[in-house]
Amino acid sequence: MQRLTVSLRGGFERRQGCLVFQFTGQLDAYSEKQFITYVEDVLLANAAPLVIDLNKIDFLDSSGLGALVQTAKKCTDAKRSFALVGNARVVQTVKLVRLEDFLHLADDLRTALNQLKA
């Protein structure tokens, strides 16, 4: 994983034909720009479906949600499949603002990968 900001690290790998991004730390107003830039740079070079795994994220605020929405919108516009996986805090935040369907929230990574393969 590479350091994107002081509070956010990220990386990606190919798994079952998908790009799986994993992040640790905080996805917030301080790190949203670096998150978006990192994900978009990888997506420009790869056409595979995308899973964002936020299981190790400690904190997600409205700016972080905005970054996820922006990423999901770009995937939708490009007709690229997309899914999100997160820990209980992330899931609670996403559901609180009723974005679980738009962000294609999956219960776990295996479920997300299976949904994208189908």
Could you tell me the pTM of the whole model?
0.92
| Number of domains composing the chain | 1
Q: Is the pLDDT of residue 34 over 90?
A: yes
**Tens-place pLDDT, residues 37-65:** 999 999 999 989 999 999 999 999 999 99
Beta bridge partners of 53: 22, 85
Q: Is the dihedral of CA 63, 65, 70, 71 positive or negative?
A: positive
The 3-state DSSP class for residue 19 equals: strand
Q: Residue 41 belongs to what domain range?
A: 2-117
Other residues' Cβ atoms within 10 Å of the Cβ of residue 58: 15
Q: What distance in Å separates the CA atoms of residue 46 and residue 36, rounded to the nearest whole number?
A: 15
For position 36, which CATH number holds? 3.30.750.24
Q: Is the pLDDT of residue 19 over 70?
A: yes
> 């929230």: which residue's tokens?
105
**Tens-place pLDDT, residues 71-106:** 999 999 999 999 999 999 999 999 999 999 999 999
Q: What distance in Å separates the CA atoms of residue 101 and residue 95, rounded to the nearest whole number?
A: 9
**Which of 15, 25, 85 minimizes the C-alpha distance to 61?**
25
**Structure confidence at residue 1 as a pLDDT band (50, 70, 90):** confident
